[in-house]
Amino acid sequence: MAQTLNLTITADVLTPAELSAAEARCWAAAQAATDHAYAPYSHFHVGAALLLDDGSLAWNTNQENAAYPSGLCAERTLLFGLNGQRPVRAVKLMAVAARPQNGEFVAVTSCGACRQVMIEFENQQGAAIPLLLPGPDGTIWRFKRLADLLPFQFMPDVLPPRS
Ligand code: THU
């Protein structure tokens, strides 16, 4: 008989008041970053932020272009940029926020391409990075690790060795 594979993805559903002080800083940084999105085509502003182990914050935003596919999501702009500047660091937490250009914050989940990049970033550092995402009705979803967002991600260990 055919077997069935069942997956469970778990996240805490929090109110803003339930965030720790460190989580609240990272959350606020992601929200504040949305002011600096370059999104003249979608008018959808996304901010992503990281809390590093020295207590500092890093953030970035989505960057668009008239040649649409040339743009990049906030999450990847942030992670690629940090990797290029500070390849040796420990990231303790990630947060994402989004809103229409002139509107209120909305619930959002990172796109598939970003999830793949987020997981490789987490694997590169070798330690879990919890993630805060805006859930419905002003709630905050807290995942224990970036990998929880994307089951069945592509893993580089299937790539053939260089000859
Ligand atoms: N966007 C992000 O920045 N992150 C995501 O995970 C999904 C979408 C951006 C890309 C584009 O600039 C705008 O939101 C609309 O898709």
Q: Is residue 163 part of a domain?
A: no
Residue 155 lies in a domain: no
What mean pLDDT is predicted for residues 42-54? Answer: 97
For the ranges 66-80, 98-112, 149-163, the lowest mean pLDDT is seen at 149-163
| Number of alpha carbons in the 13 Å side-chain half-sphere of residue 113 | 9
- Domain membership of residue 22 (yes or no) is yes
Residue 5 lies in a domain: no
What whole-number distance in Å separates Cα of residue 30 and Cα of residue 60? 8
The whole domain housing 97 covers: 12-150
4: in domain: no
User: Do the beta carbons of residue 135 and residue 96 sit within 8 Å?
Assistant: no
Q: Which residue among 75, 104, 120, 122 is the active-site one?
A: 75
Of all protein residues, whose CA lies closest to atom 7 belonging to ligand 1? 111
Phi and psi at 26, nearest 5°, equal -65, -40
The enclosing domain of 18 has a CATH number of 3.40.140.10
Helices 74-85 and 112-125 sit at what angle, rounded to 10 degrees? 30
75 is catalytic: yes
The structural domain count of the chain equals: 1
Would you say residue 1 lies in a domain? no
Residues 116-160 have pLDDT tens digits of 999 999 999 999 999 999 999 999 999 999 999 999 999 999 999
Instruction: Answer yes or no: is pLDDT of 87 > 80.
Output: no
Q: Is 48:61 a contact under the CB 8 Å cutoff?
A: yes
Q: How far is the CA of 105 from the centre of ligand 1 (A)?
A: 14
